[in-house]
Structure 1
Amino acid sequence: MTRTEEKTGFVGVGLMGHGMAKNIVEKGYPLTVIAHRNRAPVEDLVSRGATEAKSMQELASACSVIFLCLTGSPQVAEAVAALKPGLAKGSVIVDCSTSDPTVTERLAAELAEIGVAFADAPLSRTPKEAWEGTLDCMVGADEATFARVEPVIATWAAKIVRVGGLGDGHRMKLLNNFISLGYAAIYSEALAMSQKVGIPIAEFDKVIRGGRMDCGFYQTFMGYALEGNRESHKFTLTNAYKDIRYVESMANAATVATPMASAIKNSFATAVNTGGDGPEDYLPHLADFVARANGIG
């Protein structure tokens, strides 16, 4: 299909979804969106040429490819149920959320019964890259579905990897987040230790930055620890805690021992359960909770 023939929809125009949807509509695809709690992103997208649907069924009826960018599997399942009455045979739902692969497979089977395809296409990077259209995307889909949705994904992703079949995108995303959340937990503990032994954060950073242990994730994480930028990496602690629980669930199903994942989960569980459960408590703020647990005010 051409860009004008493929009518896209987007559910979940939040921190990541707003930038993704902006790129879809600005790069030539007809786009229908729907508001949730925050109307500002929808109003911005409408000003750029998108159409606002009044209901999920209306959005489904207007679209041939629908993207979901939601908090997790419960929200994805709820959205799919609301879309179902309006879905036409031959349409595709693309779940860009970080979801439980078992739920992905169940939803795909249910949609297949009504002739609707499903793909999992979770993301990596931050809202900054979402806005710039330079996200990383890992896709789980059959070859025909991937060929159809890849051009639309390319409006907001610079790196697209088809990992394998259905569910494999979400499995790879959990592996990716296992590594990134592990970094966050290690950085937070290292910073607390550094302060306890008398090495200032600025000196710690001088050694790590530009060396073999440096990376893009380290730099956004340290944007808060070093510069006080609370929005240097806008990914909430509650989402991080959810993701690492999905990692453990996947590992349990595969009978994999998880001493590292369990330790990482406990770091985030402690933060979330001691006040880090707000909408503006982001990943780099984990360092504060680890510091306080070690008597650093």
Structure 2
Amino acid sequence: MSKPKIGFIGLGYMGHGMAKNLVQKGYPLWVKGNRNRAPIDSLIGMGATEVATAREMAQVCDIIHLCLSNSPQVEAVFDGPDGILAGARDGLIVIDTTTADPVSTAKLAEALAAKGGTLVDAPLGRTPKEAEAGTLDAMVGADEAVFAQVLPVIECWAGNISHVGGPGTGHKMKLLMNFISMGYASLYAEVTVLGAAVGIPPAKVRQVIGSSRLTNGFFESFMTYAVDREEVHKFTIANGAKDLRYVGAMADAAGLTTIMASAAKQFFAQAEASGHGADFVPSITDRVGALNGLDMAAEAKK
């Protein structure tokens, strides 16, 4: 039995590794180019075929992956004369791995269903390192039959796959996860700055907390920057700010008060507004330090 034809749009930090694993595991792959030619040329060298538009991809492929930064980008790929919907046909499956707004996801799923297609939300956990290794986390929203259909494909790039529930639940679960991670970032930044202000350098904070039951993988990667100034957590402040806005919208829709999420949102909003949106999340410790008159790069040397 021949493997389904796979399309991939969004070949950034995460997408290149995911697409590489698909083509290396025998799936015929189509990719859509962007301004950065390096990942496109890399995949073409492995046997992938480039298409000019999402419409063309939808006409050719059985399953399309999206790995973009936000819902407006996803909507732009779906809509218009060169979008997925323009080329969609009966049976097409779109796997959206973007951390997206669940309200937008529901609307796009409805529009794709009208064309005979199915939208699966499968946002990601972990980092570009795991994307290259094919061991990402995936939180999948789909009905049972569709989940069984896409599972062999997702297994090419994910090592920890959770079927969260029906369509839309994957994106909701991912927002809960990023609420925790951006909350951690805000907490760790404030703790690290407070420690420095009272005479406990970042290295000592890492040593004590890192050897206690309070440690975790996020703490380790965050403190690798705060202490060693090494960028290992390649997720931008702008994306974190966007995710916290989506968390707030989801909470508003549910009629909930989310005080912790609102506090984290302000840390990220301030960092983004001050021109640091393209910086990676652990550098938020520098922004909290600056708010308090501390140079955290200098503190890290102590």
Match of 1:185 in 2: 186
Deviation at residue 163 of structure 1 after TM alignment? 0.4
Identity fraction in percent: 50
Match of 2:38 in 1: 40
How many residues are treated as equivalent by the alignment? 292
Query: How far, CA to CA, are the matches of 2:3 and 2:264 in structure 1?
Result: 46
1:117 aligns with 2:118: yes
Match of 1:51 in 2: 49
Query: How far, CA to CA, are the matches of 1:5 and 1:150 in structure 2?
Result: 13
1:198 partner SS: coil
2:265 partner SS: helix
Alignment map for 1:252-271 (pairs within 5 Å):
252-271=252-271
State whether residues 16 and 39 of structure 2, in contact with CA within 8 Å, keep that contact through their aligned partners in structure 1.
yes
Deviation at residue 244 of structure 1 after TM alignment? 0.3
1:102 partner SS: helix
Alignment map for 1:1-297 (pairs within 5 Å):
2=1, 4-81=2-79, 82-229=83-230, 231-278=231-278, 281-297=279-295
Query: How far, CA to CA, are the matches of 1:71 and 1:196 in structure 2?
Result: 36
Q: Deviations over 1:207-234 (max 9, x none)?
A: 01131111111111111111111x2100
Moved more, 73-82 or 119-128: 73-82
What is the one-letter code of the residue matched to 2:60? A
Deviation at residue 277 of structure 1 after TM alignment? 2.0
2:235 partner SS: coil
What is the one-letter code of the residue matched to 2:259? P
RMSD over aligned Cα atoms? 0.9
1:274 partner SS: helix
Q: Deviations over 1:182-230 (max 9, x none)?
A: 000000000000100001111111101131111111111111111111x
Query: How far, CA to CA, are the matches of 1:59 and 1:91 in structure 2?
Result: 11
What is the one-letter code of the residue matched to 1:288? D
Question: If the length of structure 1 is used for normalisation, what is the TM-score?
Answer: 0.97
What is the one-letter code of the residue matched to 2:290? R
What is the one-letter code of the residue matched to 1:36? N
Query: How far, CA to CA, are the matches of 1:167 and 1:147 in structure 2?
Result: 17
State whether residues 88 and 112 of structure 2, in contact with CA within 8 Å, keep that contact through their aligned partners in structure 1.
no
Gap runs ≥5 in structure 2: 296-302
Match of 2:300 in 1: none
Query: How far, CA to CA, are the matches of 1:21 and 1:256 in structure 2?
Result: 38
Query: How far, CA to CA, are the matches of 1:91 and 1:76 in structure 2?
Result: 16
Gap runs ≥5 in structure 1: none
Query: How far, CA to CA, are the matches of 2:221 and 2:9 in structure 1?
Result: 27
What is the one-letter code of the residue matched to 1:12? G
Query: How far, CA to CA, are the matches of 2:257 and 2:229 in structure 1?
Result: 37
Query: How far, CA to CA, are the matches of 1:97 and 1:90 in structure 2?
Result: 21
What is the one-letter code of the residue matched to 1:217? F
Query: How far, CA to CA, are the matches of 1:232 and 1:120 in structure 2?
Result: 26
Deviation at residue 88 of structure 1 after TM alignment? 2.1
Deviation at residue 109 of structure 1 after TM alignment? 0.8
Moved more, 80-89 or 67-76: 80-89
Deviation at residue 144 of structure 1 after TM alignment? 1.3
Match of 2:299 in 1: none
What is the one-letter code of the residue matched to 1:65? I
Query: How far, CA to CA, are the matches of 1:114 and 1:57 in structure 2?
Result: 13
What is the one-letter code of the residue matched to 1:67? H
